[in-house]
Amino acid sequence: MAETNFVDYVKIFCQSGNGGPGSAHLRREKFVPKGGPDGGDGGRGGHIILRGNSHMWTLLHLKFQKHIKAGHGESGGRQCSFGASGEDQVIEVPLGTVVRDAETGEFLTEITHDGETKILMEGGRGGLGNTHFKSATHQTPRFAQPGEPGIQGWVIMELKVLADVGLVGFPNAGKSTLLAAVSAAKPKIADYPFTTLVPNLGIVSYRNSQSFVMADIPGIIEGAHLGKGLGIRFLRHIERNSMLLFLIPADSKDHRKEYFILLKELEEYNPELLDKQRFVAISKADMLDEDLMKEISRELADIPHLFFSSVTGHNVIRLKDIIWSVLNQE
């Protein structure tokens, strides 16, 4: 996915349709000069509907479509005929899309399953025709009910990537290299910081034709929750992950300190992230000898960890076993 095509935040104006007015028609035929009321009901206004689409990964298609309006209901007619309902507007969104009110920030709804539909804004109800108002004492009502107006307003749509495993680490920790090694994903890889500018997803094959989804999140630096580096722009993408895999490169100056810095940034952003299952993986293990591994293991004695190398494949299968075990534990 091209970096310029990844959009995970849009602000759009939505307007559902107005309900059509009821008819105040009075029946008039050749031999029925005073047939009484026969006005039909107005049609309802069109809804604004969200629908989940598992084949979409971005909100790019909404970036330049700032106004979405549903159709208005039509008026009721003679002979008790109903007005046609306004045309609904269906907005296809990727799974993990959260919708909020742009003015108040209030949570409105979210889409998490393929094909799931939710009405974001209901169309106005159609007005009742004059047939509903006739009675023994008022046999020819010459009035009908107007249709209800639709709902309108600005909403914010945010995409939170859905994945089983979220890779967390400083820039150049080897997250993209790992994703490329265990899946068919082709993230941009280079030897400079902030190579990854957008989240990348990969499906990791496991034993017996099973699989899980891994997400490579742009690197976090100290102070990210305050907006440093890429800031909190992508931290929300790990809120939906079942497990967090912390990647710390073998050539780090202080592995333990780096782990707790990452942990603190997540806690400052959202303390609930610390409730997720987590595991530490030391990447680029091909740079280490046995003595250095033992030294780092002593440093991380109280933290479950594993050494691996995406380049040589050392312990990659074992890492997948650990991830699968964590994802499927009771």
Report pLDDT digits (tens) over 240-249.
Answer: 788 999 999 9
Q: How confident is the model at residue 193 (pLDDT cuts 50, 70, 90)?
A: very low
Domains of the chain: 1-159 (2.70.210.12), 165-327 (3.40.50.300)
Q: What backbone torsions phi and psi does residue 48 show, to the nearest 5 degrees?
A: -100, 115
- Please compute the mean of the pLDDT values over residues 289-294 and round it to a whole number: 90
CA atoms within 13 A on the CB side of 258: 23
pTM > 0.75: no
**pLDDT above 90: percentage of residues in the chain:** 46
Element (H, E) at 322: helix 316-327
- Asked if pLDDT for residue 190 goes beyond 60, the answer is no
Residue 36 identity (one-letter amino acid):
G
Q: How confident is the model at residue 186 (pLDDT cuts 50, 70, 90)?
A: low
- Please compute the mean of the pLDDT values over residues 14-28 and round it to a whole number: 94
What's the pLDDT at 195? 46
- Please compute the mean of the pLDDT values over residues 184-200 and round it to a whole number: 54
Q: How confident is the model at residue 67 (pLDDT cuts 50, 70, 90)?
A: very high
Q: How confident is the model at residue 232 (pLDDT cuts 50, 70, 90)?
A: low
- Asked if pLDDT for residue 72 goes beyond 60, the answer is yes
Window from 113-127, 173-187, 252-266 with minimum mean pLDDT? 173-187
Angle at 232 between CA 306 and CA 219, to 5 degrees: 35
What's the pLDDT at 194? 44
Determine contact, residues 121/48, Cβ cutoff 8 Å.
yes
Report pLDDT digits (tens) over 312-326.
Answer: 999 999 999 999 999
Q: How confident is the model at residue 3 (pLDDT cuts 50, 70, 90)?
A: very low
Enter the tokens of residue 181: 């090694």
Residues contacting 178, CB < 8 A, separation 6+: 167, 216, 247, 281, 283, 308, 310, 316
What's the pLDDT at 237? 75
Enter the tokens of residue 50: 């969200």
Q: How confident is the model at residue 157 (pLDDT cuts 50, 70, 90)?
A: very high
Determine contact, residues 86/72, Cβ cutoff 8 Å.
yes
- Please compute the mean of the pLDDT values over residues 299-311 and round it to a whole number: 90
Residue with the larger pLDDT of the pair 60 and 184: 60
- Please compute the mean of the pLDDT values over residues 91-119 and round it to a whole number: 93
What is d(CA 276, CA 244) in angstroms, rounded to the nearest whole number?
7
What's the pLDDT at 219? 65
Burial of 150 (0-12, 13-18, 19+ CB in 10 A): buried
